[in-house]
Amino acid sequence: MDRIPVCIRADDPISQLGVTTELRPRPEVRVLGADETDEARVAVIVTGAVTAETPRVLRSVAARMSEARLVLVTPEIEEADLVPVVEAGVMGVVRRRDATAERLVTVLQSAAAGEGAVPPDLLGRLLDQVGRVQRQVLRPRGLNFNDLTEREAQVLRLAAEGFDTDEIAAAVAYSARTVKQVLHDFQNRFQLRNRCHAVAYAMRNGLI
């Protein structure tokens, strides 16, 4: 079993030592030294509190270690801070009281695999926030979290079902020219070669 290379960054030396001591004996991970951070697949950020400055710090770490996934360890996190830290690149959140070696390793493994890992109550609150933003901010503007407009999503779904341009136009009450333009704009935005490539890309990435 490959050990996951992990670097630890804490607000204070006691926290740094504590998390390092928890993780160093574990066979699933390899705690990196200060001069080995380029090898990290996961970066553990240990903070005494989530503040307005925390997302900036997280983005800075993500920029320096572009290959590393971020896991945040903190005593507590307020609902208003959830989306900003996720937007900053955090894939896992662990409350300090839950930060046993076993729990940390589980979250690190999930993050290394590209999977999110947050406490269930935080996940529920995060989904509530995402839903509110979708309903109150994006939908009135014809947008969604998939980076598609409602029009693009409609056209691509029908294209995926095998509809040709005229059939799509009739189904959504657009002109054939509009349908072609929607597909053309989507292909250009994601640098896709043709309609088939556009549909495959949208399906593979869960956009439709």
Q: Where are the domains of the chain?
A: 4-133, 146-204
Question: Which string of DSSP letters, residue by residue, matches 128-155?
Answer: HHHHHHIIIIIGGGTB-TTS-BHHHHHH
CB-based contact 50:77 (threshold 8 Å): yes
- DSSP one-letter code for 89: T
- The edge-to-edge listing of strands for the beta sheet with 69-74 is 29-31, 4-10, 42-46, 69-74, 90-95
Question: CATH assignment of 146-204, given 3.10.20.440, 1.20.1050.10, 1.10.10.10, 1.20.1250.20?
Answer: 1.10.10.10
- The rounded percent of the chain whose pLDDT value lies above 70 is 88
What digits encode the pLDDT tens for the residues 147-170? 677 788 889 989 888 888 999 999
Contacts of 81 (CB under 8 A, 6+ apart): 50, 54
Query: What does the pLDDT read at residue 18?
Result: 95
Residue pLDDT, tens place only, 107-150? 999 999 888 788 877 777 776 766 666 566 556 666 555 567 77
What tens digit of pLDDT does each residue of 54-91 get? 999 999 998 888 889 999 999 998 877 887 888 788 98
Q: What average pLDDT does the segment 35-44 reach?
A: 93
pTM above 0.85, yes or no: no
**CATH code assigned to 4-133:** 3.40.50.2300
Range list of β-strands (E), the chain: 4-10, 29-31, 42-46, 69-74, 90-95
In this structure, what token pair is assigned to residue 189?
């935005």
- pLDDT score recorded for residue 132: 66
User: Which ranges in 13-65 belong to alpha helices (H)?
Assistant: 13-23, 54-64
